[in-house]
Amino acid sequence: TRTGDPALPTGRSRRVRGRPLLYTSYAQDMALLDTRAKRVSAGALVLLALALSAVLSDPALEVLAVAYVLAIGAIGLNIVTGYAGQVSLGHAFFVAIGAYTAAALSGPPGGDTIGYGISEIWIWLPAAGLVAAAAGVLVAPLATRLRGLYLAIVTLGLVFLGEHVFKEWQELTGGVGVGREAAVPAFLGVRLDQDGALGTREQQLYLLMLVLLVVFAVAARNLARSRVGRAFAAIRDRDIAAAVIGVPLTRYKVLAFGVSSFYAGCAGGLLFTVSGYVEPGSFSLLLSVQFIAMVLIGGVATVSGAIAGALFISLLQPLTRTLPALVPVISGDTTQTPNVFQVETVLYGLLIVLFLIFEPRGLFGLWIRVRNYWKAWPFSY
């Protein structure tokens, strides 16, 4: 069926039966899930994730809940690095801002640390994202003057600057080795970090993080296929050419940093609600390296790749933490060398190098290869 077929109503079009990729309108081509297979698979994945809350044990659900939060942060980094092409090594800095903003708003007033007693998640979660976004907007003007390695070094300096500030600002963070309670997730007066109507504490937190991940992922996907997303892609591919065709570089680079920082702040506010404790040493360079590994291993400029990379890295950690029991040379004590945390850092770097050499598109690229193979089977092309 062609768009000019007289059998079609005026101004309308439909997809030909048996030709799922033959589009006759821009709305079909720009649909979020443009084929039946994508709609079915996306629905099946969501149903599977919901079913896991009733099947897996509480410790496993806790690991997955943290993985979902890290996926939100990885999506944010992918927006500024993957879609907009602005290299950022300071993601841990914005995660820390969000974590302490949420903890301060939710913390009890009158204690040793700053607290305002606002435990409602629909208040402190957007606030954590907005404060982090404000910090990102302040840093963003540097992105209009710097590119590549120079921008990466500047954002790297934010991690060390923030690490020093958070260690010294004891009224906010509680100090090194002491820390403070993380934000309390409550909705309409109901504590979500305690056993309730939806199940155990871990089950409720798991469902909360899953719902928020779906919301943030859909929002990022819609942003990527909008006019803003196309401007990001133009800046990433060639910023000089983007400026020539009328894309305002300053506006969109600032917007990219702001949106990315908002995602990082929300992830920081949620990250430590699972453990209930936040400490200044958690926001080191290693956390930024972890987010970079999630993006590069999962797939640059893809929302699903960022989620896959976050799940891969998060599920890899429980395996590496068992190394001291299997390999006596590796210690679980950070004061000894080699220890398990050093092994993790080396492993992240090795995985980044291997994926960049053999599969630059990451896990998303591997999935594309497998899908194309079975679509073309038994032919080789």
CA angle 44, 49, 50 (to 5 degrees): 100
Query: Does residue 84 contact residue 256 with C-beta atoms inside 8 Å?
Result: yes
Q: Nearest to residue 101, comparing CAs of 115, 111, 86, 120?
A: 115
From 31-40, 96-105, 122-131, 342-351, the region with the lowest mean pLDDT: 31-40
> What is the secondary structure of 314-371 as a DSSP string?
HHHHHHHTTHHHH-TTSBS-TTSSSBHHHHHHHHHHHHHHHHHHH-TTHHHHHHHHHH
Q: Are residues 220 and 142 in contact, defined by beta-carbon separation less than 8 angstroms?
A: no
Which residues partner with 137 through β-bridges?
A: none
Give 246-270 pLDDT, tens digit per residue: 999 999 999 999 999 999 999 999 9
pLDDT of 17 reads: 61
181 bridge partner residues = 277
Distance CA 75, CA 98 (A): 15
**Sorting pLDDT into bands at 50, 70 and 90, what band is 16?**
low
CA 58 to chain centre: 23
Checking if the pLDDT of 334 tops 80, the result is no
Rounded Cα–Cα distance for residues 263 and 340 (Å)? 29
Which has more confidence, 42 or 378?
42
pLDDT band at 35 (very low <50, low <70, confident <90, very high): confident
pLDDT, mean of residues 293-309? 94
225, two tokens = 């296929």
DSSP state of 336: S
Q: With the C-alpha atoms ordered 198, 201, 207, 212, is the resulting torsion angle positive or negative?
A: positive
| 182-206 residue pLDDT tens | 999 999 888 888 888 888 999 999 9
Tens of pLDDT, residue by residue over 304-318, are 999 999 999 999 988
Tell me 38's DSSP state: H
* 138 has a pLDDT exceeding 80: yes
What does the pLDDT average to over 102-123?
A: 91
Q: pTM here?
A: 0.91
User: Minimal CA–CA distance to 149: which of 225, 86, 228, 74?
Assistant: 86
Q: Cis link prior to 338 (omega < 30° from 0)?
A: yes
Give bridge partners of residue 331 from the DSSP assignment: 339
| Strand pairing category for 186-187 and 190-191 | antiparallel
